[in-house]
Amino acid sequence: MAHVQEQRRGALASAIATGMLGKGDENATAMFMDLDLLHATIAALKRAPFPPGTLHTFAVKANPVGRVLELMRDAGMGAEVASLGELRQALACGFPPNRVAFDSPIKTREELRFALTAGVRLNLDNLQEVQRVAELLAAEPELLGSTAGNCSTAGPRLIGLRVNPQVGEGRIAALSTAGKVSKFGIPLLDCRGELLAAFARHPWINALHLHVGSQALPLELTVEGVARVADLAAEVEAAAAAAAYGSGGCRRIMALDIGGGLPVQYGDDDLGWLLGSSTAAVAADSMAADSAAAVLPTPTPKTETETKTEVVISIFERYANLLRQRLPYIFVGCDDINNIETAVADATTNNDNDLIKTISTTATTNTLTIAPQLVTEFGRCLVAKSVFAAGRVEYSKHCGGRRVVVSGLGGDLLLRAVYLPDTWPVRVELYGNVGQKKVCGTAASTDLADLNEPSGPGSLFPTDVVGPLCFQGDRLAEAVLLPPAHPGDWIVVPDVGAYCLSMYSRYNSRCSPPVWGFRRRRQFATRQEDETSTAAGMTPAIATAVASAVATMTKAPEEEYMLPGAWAAGSSSSGSSSSGSSSGRVVAACGADYEFVLLRRGETVEE
């Protein structure tokens, strides 16, 4: 969509103009995160009708930049971690331990001890790991803390079992974790009896966890996986009730962690599927990039009564609605909780101590009617669309009837796109040396015969866009039609906010790039508000969502959302210097229309 691409171009041009990008060899590549879009995405998640009290955690593996994690923490997110390193990082970034879920498929004895000591949520991957924890707790009972296995107001220590619901695989087997055979979790169909026995044997197990897979899965399959594990939870509750477990009405299952994995639409700049819109006209081209996207989310079904206009809801709302339709019982008790809280507040206002006591007693005796806390672990869908990467063109040559353009972006940062191009194609865009647009972006997988010729100066020519690594396959796009590229121009790849920097390859000892956050300056945002709804090629769904984000995220200085790091007018353009304190308000601005903050400095060879 034209408006979103223009945002990229504007941020790129502003970064070049201020010398943050392209000034010297040390800043020939960089990543840029749209902080307005990031906050709008988090807001869309929070608007989705998940049960009250749901804990939304961010999958650190998707984007482990420390200051991005601080933004997530400040936005009320928890953290999902899959290694001791990620666990330590989450704690160092200030996430409260009870809002950190540790899900690694391999945890050593010392890592388990560390997690138990820290008090984080712990999900055990297999029955041998259960036995290992049992041995640790037998030898060191203090690791469990004083609140495990009871209904203390301090809350129980949450230790869960990861269950493989065995519902099947999606289109990308490597990212499907709930097949008949999987490296993850305890297989439900094979080990249902063992799972029930583990709960009966170990009262400190009080949660369940699952993750069906990522990206190439229909939401309905994910929901079916949740349903199977929720049915297991009901069995555990029934068995506990029959055994008179926990006098006082405690739930046996305190938390149900349903994982993440929501798919991202990589093929274009449409944001309607991500942010949603209360009123939107769905353009015919909103889902037209199926062949270019790695995997697209399933379009919202249309009813017979829909005409040219319909409500477009975010993928988060779609998922929550599907969960409620398929599993209404995991939402049971939500209204009761709200009613109880309201009644207590009213009674407190009226100083009615007898009523407060009655309400508290009623709530305790009806605890079993309240569903366990729901936990999510979204990663890709929160950050993928908010980041683009830019690499300076160093050389351009002709070879075998094609033009070959060499930039600093390749298989080190875009590892999946280079090694698995059919599964993970990327879009490439070409800009001039000061950020001026040369051509609209096209997908690397676009067939030449089907390509609509993009507008732009110069003669279009089949072009391979290649990277810096020392092997022939380091290629982002093959035979894509582009105008002439010259040294000093810029290759831009959108949608690289997830599983790019975290999977960075150090082949050839190349250093990872700096990461800059950017947002539109307030006066620029105000100037743009009326233009947003009529931007060329932009659907009303996007216009409404972006306008809402602008209104929310571009307030007066005293109302600005907090940002990590010092804003970068005087910072080293290479990103090699410290970026300041962990949080702060705007202290300087870069460029006429955009402000930048250093989120992560680039690496050096010495490091």
Give me the active site residues, please: 470
Q: How far apart are CA 430 and CA 438, in angstroms?
A: 6
Strand partners, 464: 404
DSSP count for the chain of H helices, then E strands: 16, 21
Q: What tokens were used for 219?
A: 């939401």
Any idea what DSSP says for residue 584?
A: B
Best CA proximity match to 54, nearest among 361, 324, 359, 365: 324
Strand partners, 482: 461
Q: Which residues contact 346 (CB under 8 A, 6 or more apart)?
A: none
Q: Are 337 and 370 in contact (CB under 8 A)?
A: yes
Q: What tokens were used for 478?
A: 């093959």
* CB-based burial label for 604 (10 Å; 0-12, 13-18, 19+): exposed
Best CA proximity match to 266, nearest among 390, 385, 383: 385
Q: Cα–Cα–Cα angle for 421, 427, 429, nearest 5°? A: 140
Q: What are the b/e assignments for 259-297, b being 16+ CB within 10 Å?
A: bbbbbbbbbbbbbbbbbbbeebbbbeebbebeebbbbbb
Token pair 């305790």 is found at 364
